[in-house]
Amino acid sequence: MPRIPAHSLDSAPEATRPTLEALQRKTGKLLNIHAGMAHAPVVVAVYAGMQAALAEHGTFDARTREAIALAVGAVDGCSYCQSAHTLSGKAAGLSAGDMIDIRAGRPVVDARLDTLLGVAREAVGDTGYVQEPTWQAALDAGWTDVQLAEAFAHVAVNLYTNFNHYAGTELDVPQAPPLAG
């Protein structure tokens, strides 16, 4: 049972409706996480602002963004995030096997991407800290300081969606496949 129930577009506070409508257009339906955020206009506005900044200034392609989101969701144990980003990861061109490997913390075919995911995983797992060898591996793989800084913004927006943990949001997308032991 959710702590904060999901709104519909009709029941949401007036101040949040335009943002919810935009999110609905983007995802094809009003997701429970967004509908729950709508209880407090500031919560959904912060999320929308972070998304807008990434859309305007971000340089990563959809595949990279979704890989980061899957890695973040796995490290922080967010089944909602892993499920939602499994859907969008498929749309971004990630294979089912790659998505499971990313979630499990295993290497994927793209060794360069693996180094970036290592940075993201450490940042999530250690409150923003990344060990020097992990950072250097990403630089050695060709990621720039600018890209590594941008990665933090992607980590941050995905951590922000842990609002679903806080609110007890019910899963309204297909459950991500389980990870094999």
Using alpha carbons, select from 165, 179, 178 the residue that is nearest to residue 80: 165
Using alpha carbons, select from 67, 83, 84, 78 the residue that is nearest to residue 23: 84
The whole-angstrom separation of Cα 10 and Cα 120 is: 37
Residue 70 has pLDDT above 90, yes or no: yes
**The model's pTM:** 0.95
Report long-range pairs for 77-82 (Cβ below 8 Å, ≥24 apart): 78/161, 78/162, 78/164, 78/165, 79/171, 79/175, 79/176, 80/33, 80/161, 80/164, 80/169, 80/171, 80/173, 81/158, 81/161, 81/162, 81/164, 82/176
Helices 111-125 and 145-160, interaxial angle, to 10°? Answer: 50
Instruction: Report the Cα–Cα distance between both ends of the chain, in Å, rounded.
Output: 29
> Span 9-35, mean pLDDT?
93
pLDDT of residue 181: 60
Residue 1 has pLDDT above 90, yes or no: no
Residues 116-156: tens digit of each pLDDT: 999 999 999 999 999 999 999 999 999 999 999 999 999 99
DSSP state of 175: P
> Span 92-110, mean pLDDT?
94
> Span 63-74, mean pLDDT?
98
Residues 34-59: tens digit of each pLDDT: 999 999 999 999 999 999 999 999 99
pLDDT of residue 136: 98
The whole-angstrom separation of Cα 2 and Cα 115 is: 36
Residue 109 has pLDDT above 90, yes or no: no
pLDDT of residue 53: 97
Query: Hey, what are 39's tokens?
Result: 């209880």
Residue 87 has pLDDT above 70, yes or no: yes
The whole-angstrom separation of Cα 9 and Cα 143 is: 41
CATH topology classification for 62-160: AhpD-like (1.20.1290)
Give Cα separations from 126 to 14, 73, 119, 129, 131 (angstroms). 38, 14, 11, 5, 10
The whole-angstrom separation of Cα 78 and Cα 162 is: 7
The whole-angstrom separation of Cα 9 and Cα 17 is: 6
